Structure 1
Amino acid sequence: MSSVEEQQSQAFTKPTFSEAQACALVESVFGLKVSKIQPLPSYDDQNFHICISRAEDTTDGAAEYVLKVSNTESSKTPDLIEVQSHIILFLRAAGFPTASVCRTKADNLTSLVSVDSGSEIKSHLVRLMTYLPGRPIANIPVSPQLLYEIGRLAAKLDKTLEKFHHPKLSSLRQENFIWNLKNIPLLEKYLYALGQNRNREIVEQVIQLFKEKVMTKFHHFRECINHGDLNDHNILIESSKSALGDTVYQVSGILDFDDMSYGYYVFEVAITIMYMMIESKNPIQVGGHVLAGFESVIPLTPIERGVLFLLVCSRFCQSLVMAAYSCQLYPENKEYLMITAKTGWKHLQQMLDMGQGAVEKIWFDTARSYESGVSM
């Protein structure tokens, strides 16, 4: 299959439910009547923010939910989505600010619905989750202290998931999942989306370094379940006033568990560092604060620390290549897909220009400063 044919076949996997269809879905599957609906941005699924009509004799107002409609490819792995849903509930019970997953009228966490598109019948898994308050941390200037707390949150999440058990847990071992950091070499088949330019040369350079200096060390890393997408739009915060009148932020929600898979602790901190760099005015400084927070729960080994720089570069490459590829599939979704690209190429180039040693010195010196109680 040519790349063009592949694009055309995959372009139909993203759901295209109308608001009326989504409302009817909520009523038929979950037995709830929608009073208000609004589309939410998404990568390759479809999400709606909905309000539910309450009975007239209640005074608690409309309840808010998110309807998640999975693309046709993801909908072929119901075991995986079931495990992800149970993980969300497990983390919520453990005190994390995750959504609650609502049960269907048939008392399931998911439902497979079929839609006649005119030319074929397409099946989509649907879920309904409670709507979490707060705003994305992408919308605020992030302080070193908040970066530290986000690093700590990432580590606590992975640490807590050590205790999670489910009979279908092996579904998280997705061999060719493009968003798992193990699979950086798979980016090679998507490089055409970048064209022939300097950006492509940069990605090819990082892929080669990954093969030589990261893949050879996999057996030294400690395995765990990764959230895999703690980006600045998937972490919600709420503000309050301190006793001194300062604005204090705290995490109020963790979103999007759809990229969960088995990886390593060092993957989680690398992914978190990369996404926290995106909107930062001082991106190179970010890593040390996130690392300090993460290592307050899970200290990295020297070998894990030694690949952190390349893993952050690799995640930039994943995000930038797949955004360019997805923009060819879904040009109408370009604004959302290219969020990382606005600053990502610049940050990646800066890291490579400075070199691993210089960047690591900033990160590790900053992380060390927390041990002495004087953060940089």
Structure 2
Amino acid sequence: MQDAITAESALDLITLFEPFAPAGGQGTDDARRLGSHVSISRLAGYDDVNFRVTDARSRRAYVLKIHNAADSAASGAVFHAHNAVMQHIAAAGLVRSNTPMPLADGSGFIATVQLGGGGPRAVRLLTFLEGDIIGPRRLGPELQRALGAFIANLVTALQGFDDPALHDQTHDWFMECAASTITRKLPLVQGLDQEQRRLIESAAARLQGAVCISGDDLPRQVCHADANENNLLISADASQVTGILDWGDAAHCWRVVELAVAAAYAALLEASQGPGKGEEEGAVAPGSSGKGAGHEIGAGEGGGGEGARHEGAVEGGGGGAFDAPLRVAANVVAGYLGAGGPLTPAEQRMLGPLMGARVAISLVNGAIAARANPSNSEYLLATQKPGWRLLRLLQGLRESEVAAALLPPAVTAAQP
């Protein structure tokens, strides 16, 4: 269905929204006339179809977002909540994000349209934020800390916002359900070797064990919950994070999820630069014929809390290139704390397990989605090889070692 949605289809759809509504009512001829001053180009997307819409007359740009069938069939209250949180962020003024554009008929911000034979689809038009996404680039130390500071501002901006539709989320990226989601979906992933399967299971068990210890003490609020390299904009000199995109995973959840997800994806970017010291080149994506690196990972009894330790891993994250992803994550955490981001002792204990679970669920969800949608497999599998590399590192250290690597010494010393 994604491939069937063309730029011409998008040109028809934008006439539903206020900036492009034809004076005489919607019609094919009106949509075609827009083509003289409106340009449309496809943007990357995980399971939604996105187009950039540029109006040469107003010199403004927008994102036309055509939601996937599953989300479109869900309660419209969630889309309304996403619109409300974007409007809240704009009013708070601490961070930049998209804002929704109204429908031409004044009925709201979400159109429901029939596209082909795939059922009704929800469609929105959002403002386009200028700037480059982080993308696959390596983050320098300054940008790593700036990312942490941005997440602290995001957490602050979202304090006080709530919407009932963002409670009790059950989607496959919701981190409070990550352990059960991994357990449910792991049998659907084909081509994993024994070590890879054990790594995923260990990450789920470690998170479950941490939740049993600290879950009741975790502060909760609405979070964006998906601060990855494709959802974050940076300044021209790559020194600051300037905006955040895509509120599709927003949820009322543990506050620490915001920081853990951002730190996990920053570490993944570092891991994507190549294998570090003590690691073999053999890390493979699910479905390939190679074998992973030969380190044995064993989850400790009672939830995988103290898995086996990699040879050569340096306690506290120092030392060789093998530990570079953790040093990147530690810089993100330092930037967060330096900007006043809150981090209770319970949240400190959850950082490492949440990072590992996020990597694991990304590997599982990406592999399943790529098999279902091979035309978008390059995008969907972007985190696979570095994901295995990072997961080996995280699960090859004891939880106390991961915490020591992520947190400044003063914070680690203060832990009970």
Q: TM-score, normalised by structure 2?
A: 0.76
Determine the structure 2 residue equivalent to 1:3: none
Alpha-carbon distance in 1 for matches of 2:135, 2:398: 27
CA contact 1:133–1:253 (8 Å) conserved in 2 = no
Alpha-carbon distance in 2 for matches of 1:148, 1:229: 18
Q: Which amino acid aligns with 1:85?
A: N
Determine the structure 2 residue equivalent to 1:172: 166
Determine the structure 2 residue equivalent to 1:193: 189
Determine the structure 1 residue equivalent to 2:242: 252
Moved beyond 6 Å, runs of 4+: none
Q: Which amino acid aligns with 1:285?
A: R
Determine the structure 2 residue equivalent to 1:6: none
Determine the structure 2 residue equivalent to 1:349: 392
Alpha-carbon distance in 1 for matches of 2:78, 2:357: 25
Q: Which amino acid aligns with 2:245?
A: L
* CA deviation profile, 1:288-328 (whole Å, cap 9, x unmatched): 11112222323322222112111110010111100001011
Q: Could you say which structure has the higher strand fraction? A: 1
* Distance of aligned partners of 1:293 and 1:301 in 2 relative to their CA distance in 1, 3 Å threshold: same
Match of 2:258 among 268, 271, 275: 268
* CA deviation profile, 1:322-354 (whole Å, cap 9, x unmatched): 000101110110100011113111011022223
CA contact 1:172–1:260 (8 Å) conserved in 2 = yes
Determine the structure 2 residue equivalent to 1:372: none
* CA deviation profile, 1:114-140 (whole Å, cap 9, x unmatched): 2342xx6x1111111121111122344
SS in 1 for 2:105: coil
Alpha-carbon distance in 2 for matches of 1:217, 1:194: 33
Q: Which amino acid aligns with 1:231?
A: N
Determine the structure 2 residue equivalent to 1:325: 368
* Distance of aligned partners of 1:368 and 1:147 in 2 relative to their CA distance in 1, 3 Å threshold: farther
Say whether residues 1:337 and 2:335 are aligned partners: no
Stretch of structure 1 that moved more, 78-87 or 170-179:
170-179
* Distance of aligned partners of 1:333 and 1:223 in 2 relative to their CA distance in 1, 3 Å threshold: same
Alignment of 1:289-304 (within 5 A): 289-296=331-338, 297-304=340-347
- Structure 1 position 175, deviation (Å): 3.7
- Structure 1 position 163, deviation (Å): 2.2
* Distance of aligned partners of 1:311 and 1:114 in 2 relative to their CA distance in 1, 3 Å threshold: same
Determine the structure 1 residue equivalent to 2:85: 87
- Structure 1 position 367, deviation (Å): 7.7
Alignment of 1:35-184 (within 5 A): 35-54=38-57, 60=58, 62-75=59-72, 76-95=74-93, 96-107=95-106, 108-117=108-117, 122-165=119-162, 169-184=163-178
Q: RMSD of the TM alignment (CA)? A: 2.1
Q: TM-score, normalised by structure 1?
A: 0.84
* CA deviation profile, 1:2-58 (whole Å, cap 9, x unmatched): xxxxxxxxxx6x68422111111112444613521111111111100112252xxxx
Alpha-carbon distance in 2 for matches of 1:94, 1:15: 38
* CA deviation profile, 1:183-210 (whole Å, cap 9, x unmatched): 1212222212144412112111221222
SS in 2 for 1:73: helix
What is the total number of aligned residue pairs between the two structures? 338
Determine the structure 1 residue equivalent to 2:11: 23
SS in 1 for 2:63: strand
**Could you list the runs of 5+ residues in structure 1 that have no partner in the other structure?**
1-11, 55-59, 241-247, 370-376
Question: Percent identity of the aligned residues?
Answer: 26
Alpha-carbon distance in 1 for matches of 2:190, 2:18: 42
Q: Which amino acid aligns with 2:227?
A: L
Q: Which amino acid aligns with 2:5?
A: F
Determine the structure 1 residue equivalent to 2:231: 234
CA contact 2:169–2:251 (8 Å) conserved in 1 = no
Alpha-carbon distance in 1 for matches of 2:185, 2:4: 24
* Distance of aligned partners of 1:359 and 1:212 in 2 relative to their CA distance in 1, 3 Å threshold: closer
Alpha-carbon distance in 1 for matches of 2:3, 2:100: 20
CA contact 1:15–1:124 (8 Å) conserved in 2 = no
Match of 2:219 among 211, 219, 222: 222
Alpha-carbon distance in 1 for matches of 2:232, 2:211: 28
CA contact 1:15–1:72 (8 Å) conserved in 2 = no
* CA deviation profile, 1:272-295 (whole Å, cap 9, x unmatched): 100111222521101211112222
Stretch of structure 1 that moved more, 16-25 or 329-338:
16-25
Alpha-carbon distance in 2 for matches of 1:66, 1:91: 18
**Could you list the runs of 5+ residues in structure 2 that have no partner in the other structure?**
21-33, 274-323
CA contact 2:145–2:332 (8 Å) conserved in 1 = yes
CA contact 1:232–1:276 (8 Å) conserved in 2 = yes
SS in 1 for 2:189: helix
